[in-house]
Amino acid sequence: MGSLAVIARQLGHRVSGSDQNVYPPMSTQLQELGIELREGYHPEHLQPKPDLVIIGNALSRGNPAVEAVLRDRLVYTSGPQWLAQAVLQHKWVLGVAGTHGKTTTSAMLAWVLEYAGARPGYLIGGVTKNFPRSASLGESDFFVVEADEYDTAFFDKRSKFIHYAPRTAILNNLEFDHADIFENLAAIERQFHHLVRTVPGNGLIISPYRDSVLEAVLSQGLWSPRQQFGVNVPDEVCRLLASGGGAFWNANLSGDSGEAFEVVQYGQGATGEVVNRCAVQWALTGEHNVRNALAAIAAARHVGIDTATSTAALREFAGVKRRMEHLGTIGGVSVYDDFAHHPTAIDTTLRGMAAKMAAGESGGRLVAIIEPRSNTMKLGIHQTDLAAATTAADLVLWKKPESSGLDFHTLLAQSECPAHAFDSVEEIVSFVKEGSAHGDRIVIMSNGGFDNIHQKLLSALRGTPGSLN
């Protein structure tokens, strides 16, 4: 919604917005653009009467603002529908879908196009470090959009990405998530196949090698060319897959951290020959980000950007705020912020950092501080997966939600490393301050503001008076 506000402002509209618990970096970005932020959903925020109200999917019937819109017969629409009608109709849309990696892959792809001089428009659900804003109209026919499977609005229960009609569609991965709106994995698969149905015959679908869930989706019908990508896939397999009618993209990792890898492009043809090899050394870690990079490279090639240019761009990719963002190092203790809110994302992120630490021989511990904030996590859906997702850490600290279906007693008992659960952020900060040591790397994981734990912890490590208040 914040990114949509940026687009609307660029189109020349006067824009204001209401939300609860507004927090940086998005709030800062909006304020800098002169977009008025109002705390809470009060009907008076709709005065003077707006020409159009865009209603986000977090709001439902009973919300005071929603009730005022309906009572006063204000013109309203959803964010995805407005974007499709106001911006995307005549664009070459590059949509990035998947349970994990949408924001990072969208940011990578937009940056590759920008680096290549394509001047794309983009809408990303986060603040990137290579662009001054999370969204832009751009100056070309290309538009990169983060294509979310969450429902559109209280009056439109289709997934958001149904509205975007991408010509180039990345399907990064697919796991069960959003248990508050999807009954089971099959329900999400159905929505993903609705997306597949909107990709034209002259478009392209890009998906990972050997993802059984996405294979099940595509087996329901495929009307567009398809290309696949993978990591450390044997050469003979890559050639076979490429010779079957679509190019294949492989990454050969140098070590386990994901900080260096070789991109191998296998061309479409009878023998699936290698047509390009390019090396990447970059600032990101983790095999998951290497996979994100391959998807972005393949999508960029579809719009005419060669692999060498794409890999050169990725060497300068600085990442996205709140995706393993380094916040500071104090007394040899480094603090990172990450958006991980699913067991798979937690696992891959921690493994990437652990591999980086092992390669650097820092000698410190990897400490994970996790707030299970998403609806799916709080419902206890991932109870059996969470302990296994943290095995790469040396210490795990959990923040208990006020209401949760998670059994923390069982979670702590199942943990392979020392683990503790706390009722408050202040307790976590005090525990870390007393027990941290030189070389430790602390990764804070949440898809929300986490009661400003990041700054509270940094202040505590600095010894700032009153930092725990």
- Indicate if 203 and 176 belong to the same structural domain: yes
Report whether 229 contacts 261 (CB < 8 A). no
Where does the pLDDT of residue 405 fall: very low under 50, low under 70, confident under 90, or very high at 90 and above?
confident
d(CA 39, CA 45): 9
pLDDT interval class at 355 (50, 70, 90): confident
pLDDT tier at 469, thresholds 50, 70, 90: very low
Task: Give the whole-angstrom CA distance, residue 53 versus residue 31.
Answer: 19
More confident site: 443 or 22: 443
pLDDT of 178 higher than 80: no
Residues 40 and 109 grouped into a single domain: no
List pLDDT tens digits, range 426-438. 999 999 998 888 8
Does 468 have pLDDT greater than 50? Answer: no
Higher-scoring residue by pLDDT: 31, 111: 111
CA 112/CA 124 separation, integer angstroms:
14
Judgement on whether residues 164 and 226 belong to the same structural domain of the protein: yes
Q: Is residue 113 part of a domain?
A: yes
Position 84 in a domain? no
Helices (H) then strands (E): counts for the chain: 16, 22
Burial tier of 6 (Cβ tally within 10 Å: 0-12, 13-18, 19+): buried
406 in any annotated domain: yes
Q: Higher confidence at residue 406 or residue 366? A: 366
Q: What CATH number does the domain containing 385 carry?
A: 3.90.190.20
| Domain boundary pick from 279, 314, 349 | 314
pLDDT given for residue 379 in this prediction: 65
The CA-based angle 35-13-90, given to 5 degrees, is 120
Q: Please check whether residue 134 is in contact with residue 124, taking contact to mean a CB–CB distance below 8 angstroms.
A: yes
* CA 181 – CA 188 distance, rounded (Å): 9
- Among residues 164, 225, 246, the alpha carbon closest in space to that of 198 is found at 164
Place of tokens 């149905």: 197
Residue 87's pLDDT is 97
Asked if residue 413 and residue 348 are part of one domain, the reply reads yes
The pLDDT of residue 375 is 64
- The pLDDT, as a whole number, for residue 384 is 74
Residues 238 and 110 in one domain: yes
Number of domains in the chain: 3
Per-residue pLDDT at 179: 60
- Please indicate, yes or no, whether residues 329 and 300 belong to a single structural domain of this protein: no
| Residue type, position 444, single letter | I
Whether the pLDDT of residue 380 is over 70: the answer is no
What confidence tier does 378 reach under pLDDT thresholds 50, 70, 90? low
Say yes or no to pLDDT of 19 above 60: yes
Q: What angle do CA 193, 195, 201 make, to 5 degrees?
A: 100
Residue with more model confidence, 176 or 82: 82
Average the pLDDT over 359-378 and give the result: 78
Q: Which domain holds residue 351?
A: 325-462
Higher pLDDT among residues 411 and 116, named by residue: 116
Would you state the pLDDT for residue 4?
93
Integer Cα distance of 461 and 341 in angstroms: 25
139 vs 382: CA distance, rounded Å? 43
Q: What is the mean pLDDT of residues 17-37?
A: 85
The answer to whether residue 80 sits within a structural domain is: no
CATH number, domain containing residue 69? 3.40.50.720
Is the predicted pLDDT of residue 362 greater than 80, yes or no? no
pTM exceeds 0.85 = no
Instruction: Note whether 6 and 136 are within 8 A (CB).
Output: yes
2: which 2 tokens?
Answer: 């914040």
Confidence of residue 169 (pLDDT cuts 50, 70, 90): very high
Mean pLDDT confidence for 381-404: 84
Model confidence at 254, pLDDT cuts 50, 70, 90, reads confident
Quickly count: other Cβ atoms within 10 Å of residue 127's Cβ. 23
pLDDT for residue 464: 54
231 lies in the same domain as 370: no
Answer yes or no: is 83 within a domain: no
Residue 469 placed within a domain: no
**Considering 23, 48, 74, which residue would you say is the last residue of a domain?**
74
Q: Looking at residue 463, what is its pLDDT?
A: 82
Burial class (CB in 10 A: 0-12, 13-18, 19+), 175: middle
| pLDDT band of 117, cuts 50, 70, 90 | very high
The reply to whether 85 falls in a domain is no
Tens digits of per-residue pLDDT, 407-417? Answer: 888 888 888 88
Of 196, 194, 217, nearest to 205 by C-alpha is 196
Question: Which of 74, 105, 133 is a domain's end point?
Answer: 74
What's the CATH code of the domain at 159?
3.40.1190.10
Q: Are residues 159 and 247 in the same domain?
A: yes
What are the C-alpha distances in Å from 176 to residues 79, 158, 360?
24, 17, 35
pLDDT at res. 16: 94
My answer on whether 56 and 107 are in the same domain is: no
What does the pLDDT look like over 60-111, one tens digit per residue? 999 999 999 999 999 999 999 999 999 999 999 999 999 888 999 999 999 9
User: What's the chain's average pLDDT?
Assistant: 89
Pair 288, 349: CB distance under 8 Å: yes
Q: Quick check: helix, strand or coil at residue 203?
A: coil
Contact 116, 300 (CB under 8 A): yes
Whether residues 242 and 98 fall in one domain: yes
Beta strands, E only, 80-191: 92-97, 121-123, 135-136, 142-146, 151-153, 156-159, 168-171
Please report the pLDDT score of residue 269 as a whole number: 66
Fill in the amino acid letter for 200.
Answer: P
Same-domain status, 202 and 149: yes
Same-domain check for residues 22 and 163 = no
Give the least confident one: 154-168, 171-185, 385-399. Answer: 171-185
Percent of the chain scored above 70 by pLDDT?
94
Q: Is residue 352 part of a domain?
A: yes
Q: Are strands 92-97 and 168-171 parallel, antiparallel or unpaired?
A: parallel
User: What gap in Å lies between CA 97 and CA 159, rounded to an integer?
Assistant: 11
pLDDT tens profile 262-314: 999 998 666 788 989 999 999 888 888 999 999 999 999 999 999 999 999 99
